[in-house]
Amino acid sequence: MASFKLRPSFSWVSTLALSVGMAGALLSAPAALAQAFPNKAIRLVCPFPPGGAVDIASRAIAQELSKNLGQPVTVDNKPGAGGNIGGADVARATPDGYTIFMTTSGIQAINPALYAKMPFDPNKDLAPVSALVSLNNVLVLHPSVKANSVAEVIALAKSQPGAMNYASSGSGTSIHMSGEMFKSLTNVNITHIPYKGSAPAVTDLLGGQVMMMFDNIPSAIPHIKSGKLKALATTGAKRDPLLPDLPTMAEAGVAGYESGVWFGLAVPANTPRDVVMRLNAEAIKGTKSPEFVKRMTELGYIIMGTSPEIMAEMNRAEVQRWGPIVKASGAKAD
């Protein structure tokens, strides 16, 4: 135990006051830390390239967090391996709130079932902050593909087993699994071609290098409206409000089909609870701002904004839902 040599003029009253003050400072340290957070820039890791649906949501919430927290929130794109590269980067980061992650339901629930070796455990190495937005996918084709309905796609695929292909934003993403669900429920043989994000996949789809894709609606909608891509059906349980004239996959004849995705913020495990709750409060505030609401809804996102506990429950539900589907599909990724 450390000993202190007090000057003769230093009274026992002063000693007691010093001890009480030090104890009070120690007790209030967590609260003071939370109040001081943040005092520098925050890095938001987006695990997909610029231009895709996850990147769009990342930049929109980063802008709101920057305003609400009073510090710059910069988006750092780290694509690859269906989001695993970015996720592993965040999982290894210091748990202090200065590195946050835009995760997806695919990263949380599909990747653990799809990848033989995960570089991290998304449900143990990350702590949920808030589920922010959800969205449906849409089946889009290059205009040269001679099919104008889901039924015609199925017929064409069955007439040419293995000849058709579909692009995805990476193995394990909702775009990939939407395609695998389609193959499983229709018993067709279509080749999967993974990319490192939605944007490069759409680029090749627009160029005719690939034939079709179950893209996230926000990244596909401009090309649908311009006529550069042919949209046939959406993947949700109900018709999407942004594309109300399109049938759902189930309405188009694929019974039992339903596939979507949600995005949310997470931080490294063991991040202080006070910091998590500060990020949660400011993220929810951000999802309610008029600018965020307008931008997101116009692009087809459905706004959520949940507590960490609700996001944790959503993670568990997604794992239970997608694990059996991935196993039944036989899809694997290295």
Examine the fold and report which residue of 188, 219, 234 is the final residue of a domain before the chain moves on.
Answer: 234
Q: Which pLDDT value is given to residue 271?
A: 98
Query: Could you tell me which of 138, 77, 87 has the C-alpha nearest to residue 110?
Result: 87
More confident residue, 281 or 5: 281
Mean pLDDT of 255-259: 91
What CATH number did the domain enclosing 177 receive? 3.40.190.10
Write phi, then psi, for 11 (nearest 5 degrees): -75, 165
Q: Which two tokens stand for residue 37?
A: 């957070």
pLDDT > 50? residue 8? no
CA angle 279, 285, 287 (to 5 degrees): 105
Q: Which residues of 155-172 are buried (b: 16+ CB within 10 A; e: fewer)?
A: ebbeeeeeebbbbbbbbb
The CA distance from 28 to 21, in Å, is 11
The CA distance from 18 to 163, in Å, is 79
How many separate domains does the chain show?
Answer: 2
In a domain, 250, yes or no: no
The pLDDT > 90 percentage for the chain reads 74
311 and 268: one domain? yes
The CA distance from 24 to 211, in Å, is 66
The CA distance from 229 to 205, in Å, is 8
β-strand partners of 215: 138
64 and 115: one domain? yes
Cis peptide, bond prior to residue 290, ω within 30 of zero? no
Instruction: Give the domain range for residue 317.
Output: 42-134+261-329
106 and 167: one domain? no
Q: Which two tokens stand for residue 241?
A: 């409000």
144 and 281: one domain? no
What CATH number did the domain enclosing 85 receive? 3.40.190.150
Task: Please provide the DSSP assignment of 154-182 as one string.
Answer: HHHHHHSTTT-EEEESSTTSHHHHHHHHH
Confidence of residue 170 (pLDDT cuts 50, 70, 90): confident
pLDDT > 50? residue 222? yes
128 and 145: one domain? no
127 and 144: one domain? no
113 and 161: one domain? no
Name the CA radius of gyration of the chain, rounded. 24
Q: Which pLDDT value is given to residue 17?
A: 45
Task: State pLDDT tens for residues 34-50.
Answer: 568 999 999 999 999 99
Q: Is 101 helix (H, G, I), strand (E, B) or coil?
A: strand
Mean pLDDT of 27-35: 51
Tell me the pTM. 0.79
The CA distance from 102 to 262, in Å, is 10
The CA distance from 313 to 318, in Å, is 9
In a domain, 117, yes or no: yes
pLDDT > 80? residue 293? yes
